[in-house]
Structure 1
Amino acid sequence: MDWIIFILVVVWLGIVSWFDIRKSEIPHSTWVIIPLIGACFYRTWQGNWALVLLTILVAAVSERERISQLFGWEEIEKMITWFPLLFLGAYLSVQTSPFATLAIIGFWAAWELKWWGGADAMATMTIILIFPEITFILAFLILHVIATIMLAVRSLVKENKVCLHRIPGLPLLLIAVISFQVLNLLVLHTDNCGLLTI
């Protein structure tokens, strides 16, 4: 089952990464909404409904303007209206998955602050639901730091000044997922050989 999920994730991320590299956006939000819904079902099936609740809440908060227009209720559009629900979702999910909870809140905050695009944030939350382990979160963050440093050094060499570049998030997410799987295989292999126990 794990390999099937991994292959599905890599194929999906490969397709959306291709769009992200070519046009800096995906053609339709369905490319991230359907996998997010699937990841919610998967995580609930795995027994962590609280993390799913938090993910649904942050996705709803990000769409609060549309929800407000749909129901014709202006209060829904205000962020303060959602704080009690967000706090409840964070409180419940931090009990079972503290790092995944912090990651989802962090990626959502990056989306709200316009540091990330919506597709990048939703895809990352989808992957966090599938791989909530801290090793994946660290692999993802380390990969981003390395890419940022490499691009900053490149701009320093070419332009004699340090520039922070917009990095396509989806290809980095794909690389992080593959790196995470390779790391898991290496740890599993060395553990089976008796060389390393974690």
Structure 2
Amino acid sequence: MDWIIFGLVVTWLGIVSWFDIRKSEIPHSAWVVIPLIGAGLYRILQGDWTLVLLAAVVAAVSERYRISKAFGWEELSRIITWLPLLFLGAFLSIQSSPLSALAIIGFWAAWELKWWGGADAVSAITICLIWPGIFFIISFLVIHLIVVIVSGLISVIREQKIKLHRVPGLPILLASVLILKVGIIILG
């Protein structure tokens, strides 16, 4: 079953990475929303509904303007309205998966602060739901460190100074998942 999930995730991330590299966006939000729902159902079947609750609250908070318009209630567009639910989701999920809960909050914060695109954040949250342990976080950090070092070295060599680069996030997530699987195989 684990290999089937791995194959599905790699195929999905491969497709959305291709879109991200070509056009810096995915063609439709369904490319990340459907996998998020699937990962949530998978995590619930694994018995960890609290992490799914946090992911659902984070997704709702990110869509607060649309929710506010749909219900015609302006108060829902303010983030402070959602803070009690965010704290509840964080409190409950930290009990079962502390690192993944903090990662989900971090990915959401990067999205809200416009450091990341929505597809990048939702994809990372999806992967956290599928593999909530420390291995994904470590592989994610290792790949990002490699990308920062390599892009920094390239800019030093080409331009004689360190320059920040915009690298598509979805291919980096794909590389993180591949490193994750290699790490799991090596560590047994």
Shorter-chain TM-score: which interval? over 0.9
Query: Percent identity at matched positions?
Result: 64
* Count of aligned positions: 188
> Segments of 4+ in structure 1 off by > 3 A?
none
1:75 aligns with 2:79: no
Within-5 A mapping of 1:9-158? 9-158=9-158
Alignment-derived partner of residue 165 in structure 1: 165
CA distance in 1, matches of 2:96, 2:79: 26
Structure 1 gaps, min length 5: 189-198
Greater displacement, 93-102 / 176-185: 176-185
Report deviation, 1:157.
Answer: 1.1
Read off the aligned partner of 1:115 and give its amino acid letter.
Answer: W
CA distance in 2, matches of 1:37, 1:141: 25
**Higher Cα radius of gyration:** 1
1:177 aligns with 2:177: yes
Read off the aligned partner of 1:124 and give its amino acid letter.
Answer: A
Report deviation, 1:49.
Answer: 0.3
Structure 2 gaps, min length 5: none
Report deviation, 1:45.
Answer: 0.4
Report deviation, 1:58.
Answer: 0.3
TM-score by length of 2: 0.99
Q: Deviations over 1:121-163 (max 9, x none)?
A: 0000000000111011111011112101210111111011211
Alignment-derived partner of residue 196 in structure 1: none
Name the SS of the counterpart of 1:44 in structure 2: helix
CA distance in 2, matches of 1:60, 1:17: 25
Report deviation, 1:104.
Answer: 0.2
TM-score by length of 1: 0.94
Read off the aligned partner of 1:94 and give its amino acid letter.
Answer: I
RMSD between aligned alpha carbons?
0.6
Name the SS of the counterpart of 2:40 in structure 1: helix
Q: Deviations over 1:142-195 (max 9, x none)?
A: 11121012101111110112111111111011111111111111111xxxxxxx
CA distance in 1, matches of 2:107, 2:141: 11
